[in-house]
Structure 1
Amino acid sequence: MSLRHLSPRLAGCCVLFVFAAGAAAQAPAERSLPPPVSTRDIVQPMLPAQLQDFGAYVDSARKTFDVPGIAVAIVKDGQVVMERGFGLREIGKPEPVDAHTLFAIASNTKAFTAAALQQLAEQGKLKMDDRVIDHLPWFRMSDPYVTHEMRIRDLLAHRSGLSLGAGDLLYWPPTSYTTKEVVERLRNVPIKNGFRSGYAYDNILFAVATLVIEQASGQSYADYVREHIFQPVGMDESLIDKTYLKPGMDVAVGHAKANFKDLEPVPPMAWLNDPGAGGIYASVHDLAKWMNVQLAGGVLPSRGADGKPVRLFSADSQQQMWSMLTPITIGKPPIPELAPLVPHFYGYGESWFLSDYRNQRLVWHTGGWPGMVSRVTLVPELHLGVVVLTNAESGAAFNAVTYRVLDAYLNTAQKTVAPLTDWVIVYDKAVKQGEARADDSLAKHEAARDKSSKPSLPLAQYAGTYRDPWYGDVIIGYENGKLRLRFSKTAQLIGTMTPWQHDSFVVRWDDRALNADAFVDFTLDMDGHIREMRMQPMSPLTDFSFDFQDLRLVPVAAGKPGTGED
């Protein structure tokens, strides 16, 4: 799920530069400008002079990156300066986005998970440096040393040795596994890097964190977060996951580009088996409150009966959450115009990215969901926060809007009158360059293809059940002269396989909004029997959570149960 300079969604793994995703720069359909600011929106007079054209700027981002609706909140010095919606909740329908429209905030949920664990540590129910096996004795990684040494703090820091997005197919797209079953299957997810040796974004360890919270608190994750975070902060509109949505609610509909081209609504998704990684739905109205509590060092706006401030968490807990645990290598920007965004330092704390911009420390995170991406950014020394929620898969849009706000406030703080960079133009160039590289990658595959070749076996002989140690069963059926591939636990992963060359095929998923078509390659033994099946995404724009490349699928012998519950 996840920001990808890698892919469109930025599910949370966002690195500093997120362009590619189906954040396509195809010419968007013409849409009317958003309605006037409603009574459900707030725009205070203290908005900097350089943001007086902010509405027009956000509309420029919406049009350029083909985003139906965007919601923005800005807080400064404990006050809400702006909370406003722009555009539409769903294309083709009149309902506008406003400050109270709910969006899936995806990996921005991770900061709530970290806060919950820190609260439990303050209550003496756990220590952040406890071994995970002290709380979940059955917990296992594929390496005994990592199993023994994995601490609760490690679950939040992307330094476990797992590769990027490892195990995501256990819950993305939604699967029928429970959270406990997901975590039990970690014992077979390969560890490809050194423990605590470097950064690789994961979601699966937040499923472990979810279970730790439940074990320590005696409550479900949803009940704990609702009672101990949402209610004290005053986040009355926020929900733990899609299952709490009801008809008639003010909710944005996600949009994705089928085949990376045509924007269309996508059905809402519930992440029931890893809620601590990305389940929350929230509005900018509520997230403005969350940012103010963060910027106040955990202090809530309410006071106790003795008149003293009440804390959501201690200053020490916040210091831990905002301290770098995992350094991240700083790369070169894909285009020169993005050079001003290259930080001096970059890393990850407990569920927060940490970097700097124009000599100011930033504490931030992103989120990626089917059809929705978002960014929360805090500038602690300026007591400034900005959140941008969108209902399309364009990291370029939320970055362009975020940096417009940061520039305006930094110019004010630094007493400069430099003209503002039009980050919409800059990111548009970066997106188009990324798409061109993706097209070139596919073109190279096509050029290398031997179109005269044929599969070694009759198509029907590729049919069967194939089993991976951590995912379970993938089933290929021979139906009406075609091969149909199905992931046994993932309803959305059903598609048709067609020959590519030799014993390689392409699977094109029935759900074209997934943008995750993949190569399927078979290895035969010396007697012509299938020994192994491997997969990998066709396009570099495919979300990294489709970690097909980590599957090691082998044929299941006839008569052996093919439930995937090995």
Structure 2
Amino acid sequence: MLARRRLALLALVGLLAVPSQEAQAQEAAAGVPELDAWVGRTLETFEVPGVAVTIVKDGEVVLATGYGVRRIGEATPVDERTRFGIASNTKAFTATALGILVEDGKLEWDGRVIDYLPWFRMWDPWVTRELTVRDLLVHRSGLGLGQGDLLYWPESDISRREIVEAVRHLEPATSFRSAYAYDNILYHAAALVIEEVSGQTWEDFVDSRIIEPLGMSDTRVTRAATLEEGNVATPHARIEGEVRPVQPLAATATNAAGGINSTAADMAKWLIVQLDSGRVAGADRVFSAGTTRQLWTPVTPMPIGRAPAGLEPLQAQFQGYGLGFVIRDYRGHKMVTHTGGLPGYVSRVAMIPGLKLGIAVLTNQEMGVAFESITARILDHYLDAEPVDWITGFSDLMARRDSVVAATEQSTAAERDTASRPSLNLAAFAGTYTDAWYGDVMIAEGAGGLEIQFSRTESLLGDLEHWQYDTFFVRWRDRELRADAFITFELATDGSVAGARMKAASPSVDFSYDFHDLDLRRKP
């Protein structure tokens, strides 16, 4: 069944990846040889239903078009006005908004956060006093990778203010300003700073000071826009072996870290303004060259690994995080870039300032190698680089990674002691557990065994299957989550259950499911 469905998908994508006459004319203007065929092969190879591609050069739009379909199994094509979630590419908009407020004289990059949000607290009082607006954006606060994301990923009922108030309970993974670790949660604090000093919500400020002046008329500043009717790409992902539509993440409290929905045509306007230091043709500046320098200056050094086999031209010589952007080199040129990832949407923005070249690739399937293959092909053309078969290189990389994940999962299963039994009867594990930053997690005994429900997150409802000793496998009923976990119960000296710790069951689980940061204590 799955094999037949996969072949049907490939046939559909291959048919609909052929662009319109308008797109073919744009490709000729862009001068990227055989780009249409390259994009079509990318969609087919990586089973991506649709993609929007933007290229700007020297202040002009040379390509803004769509390929493939908005929804698998349907014929409606992606075009230049089809909206996609751009996810963490939103962070550059938040950073730009702060830059505008700096220019307005309403805040300072190195002003202390508590001077704008007096109630704000980090775990450490000294860090609370020293944390600056700049620190909110550059991933050097001491928090771990994705720490705190479980508050709102998957979708929960928590507010922006509640998210930021919970930061005080997140014990840091490293010391302040000593290491890079990507986080989302402090961008929500940045949104509250914007709201405090501007008197507008983050959404209204970004809309009125960036989106409207740039003429990005099809762009929406909230994740809820993914639920609208009309020219919207449906998010997709591989669920238990099959690519299919998935429910979008529509919570609005976290818009500042990843909520914008945009199009190929509108991303062209954003890229042109970024590459021209805030100038809008025929209108006033949106921001100054000084803000551009701030956004594009590395602040936090990022680790540099060895480029994977077959992808050697990707090797970086320098890499750092600026304000909402990653700054690194590509084939000897400075590149300003970022990626974005949400359920069913992944994307890449890349700019080569020295060439006034900007690229955006937005997709509606969780397959980052697709946008990487397209972006690299376009970059290589404009850099006059030796052609590389990026599609094959990334395909091979995926196969190696899948093999590593499978081996890890098999090793975990092989180490399981299937003869072991829990220390107590199942009813003894039932109860309400609480974590200082998340809140309550309920475990109850149902007809089929133990069940778990996170109080703030409706979709985190699952069944506990005994794994070994006092560890249980958590199988979420919503299989779109792809985030099964282990929960291990801890006993007190009197033999009762005192608490529990959790961790992801597979390395394939998204880092935003930071179960390992929970310290669940059983309530009396």
Q: Same fold (TM over 0.5)?
A: yes
Aligned to 2:232: 251
The 8 Å contact of residues 44 and 82 in structure 1, kept in 2 or not, is answered as: yes
Unaligned stretches of 5+ in structure 2?
A: 1-5
SS class of match (1:299): coil
SS class of match (2:128): helix
SS class of match (1:29): helix
Aligned to 2:347: 374
Aligned to 1:34: 16
The percent identity for this pair of structures is 46
Q: Distance in 2 between matches of 1:525 and 1:332?
A: 46
Aligned to 2:3: none
1:234 to 205, 212, 215: 215
Structure 1 residue 150 and structure 2 residue 124: aligned?
no
Answer 1 or 2: which has greater helix percent: 2
The 8 Å contact of residues 486 and 495 in structure 1, kept in 2 or not, is answered as: yes
| Greater Cα offset, 474-483 or 392-401 | 474-483
The 8 Å contact of residues 40 and 100 in structure 1, kept in 2 or not, is answered as: no
Aligned to 1:316: 290
The 8 Å contact of residues 95 and 295 in structure 2, kept in 1 or not, is answered as: yes
The 8 Å contact of residues 86 and 340 in structure 2, kept in 1 or not, is answered as: yes
| Cα distance, 1:248 vs structure 2 | 3.4
SS class of match (1:46): helix
Aligned to 1:405: 378
Structure 1 residue 93 and structure 2 residue 74: aligned?
yes
Aligned to 1:23: none
1:16-67 deviations in Å (ceiling 9; x for gaps): xxxxxxxxxx88832332265347757154322xx23111111111111111
Aligned to 1:426: 393
Structure 1 residue 47 and structure 2 residue 21: aligned?
no
SS class of match (1:311): coil
Q: What is the correspondence of 1:139-288 to structure 2 with a 5 Å cutoff?
A: 139-244=120-225, 247-259=228-240, 261-288=241-268
Q: Distance in 1 between matches of 2:149 and 2:226?
A: 24
Q: Distance in 2 between matches of 1:507 and 1:245?
A: 29
1:279-324 deviations in Å (ceiling 9; x for gaps): 1111111001000001111111123xxxxxx211110111011001
| Cα distance, 1:513 vs structure 2 | 1.5
Q: Distance in 2 between matches of 1:84 and 1:159?
A: 37
Q: Structure 2 counterpart of 1:292, which letter? A: I
The 8 Å contact of residues 27 and 36 in structure 2, kept in 1 or not, is answered as: no
The 8 Å contact of residues 28 and 64 in structure 1, kept in 2 or not, is answered as: no
1:185-222 deviations in Å (ceiling 9; x for gaps): 11101111111111000000000000000011101111
| Greater Cα offset, 335-344 or 30-39 | 30-39
| Cα distance, 1:452 vs structure 2 | 1.1
The 8 Å contact of residues 223 and 255 in structure 2, kept in 1 or not, is answered as: no
Q: Distance in 1 between matches of 2:228 and 2:253?
A: 23
Q: Structure 2 counterpart of 1:495, which letter? A: G
Aligned to 2:358: 385
The 8 Å contact of residues 85 and 226 in structure 2, kept in 1 or not, is answered as: no
Q: Structure 1 counterpart of 2:302, which letter? A: I
1:497-519 deviations in Å (ceiling 9; x for gaps): 10001111111111112110001
Aligned to 2:304: 330
Q: Structure 1 counterpart of 2:457, which letter? A: T
Q: Distance in 2 between matches of 1:266 and 1:481?
A: 28
Q: Distance in 1 between matches of 2:212 and 2:363?
A: 25
Q: Distance in 1 between matches of 2:28 and 2:61?
A: 11
1:437-476 deviations in Å (ceiling 9; x for gaps): 0001111111100111111111122111110110011111
The 8 Å contact of residues 227 and 250 in structure 2, kept in 1 or not, is answered as: no
1:349-377 deviations in Å (ceiling 9; x for gaps): 00100101111110001000011100000
> How many residues get paired?
516
The 8 Å contact of residues 232 and 312 in structure 1, kept in 2 or not, is answered as: yes
Q: Distance in 2 between matches of 1:177 and 1:283?
A: 29
Structure 1 residue 501 and structure 2 residue 468: aligned?
yes
Unaligned stretches of 5+ in structure 1?
A: 1-25, 304-309, 558-566
The 8 Å contact of residues 17 and 40 in structure 2, kept in 1 or not, is answered as: no
Q: Distance in 2 between matches of 1:289 and 1:212?
A: 26
SS class of match (2:328): strand
Q: Structure 2 counterpart of 1:121, which letter? A: V
The 8 Å contact of residues 69 and 76 in structure 2, kept in 1 or not, is answered as: yes
Aligned to 1:17: none
Aligned Cα root-mean-square deviation (Å): 1.5
1:396 to 350, 363, 369: 369
Distance change in 2, residues 1:30/1:336 (3 Å): closer
Provide TM-score, normalisation by structure 1: 0.89
1:466 to 433, 446, 461: 433
Q: Distance in 1 between matches of 2:236 and 2:445?
A: 33
Q: Distance in 2 between matches of 1:270 and 1:545?
A: 16
SS class of match (2:142): coil
| Cα distance, 1:391 vs structure 2 | 0.5
SS class of match (1:256): strand
SS class of match (2:220): coil
Q: Distance in 2 between matches of 1:137 and 1:242?
A: 29
Q: Structure 1 counterpart of 2:29, which letter? A: M
The 8 Å contact of residues 38 and 98 in structure 1, kept in 2 or not, is answered as: no
| Cα distance, 1:247 vs structure 2 | 4.7
SS class of match (1:31): helix
Provide TM-score, normalisation by structure 2: 0.96
Q: Distance in 1 between matches of 2:369 and 2:10?
A: 19
Q: Structure 1 counterpart of 2:251, which letter? A: W
| Cα distance, 1:549 vs structure 2 | 0.4
| Cα distance, 1:405 vs structure 2 | 0.3
Distance change in 2, residues 1:247/1:195 (3 Å): closer
Structure 1 residue 476 and structure 2 residue 443: aligned?
yes
1:454 to 421, 433, 440: 421
The 8 Å contact of residues 85 and 262 in structure 2, kept in 1 or not, is answered as: yes
Greater relative contact order (Cα < 8 A, sep 6+): 1
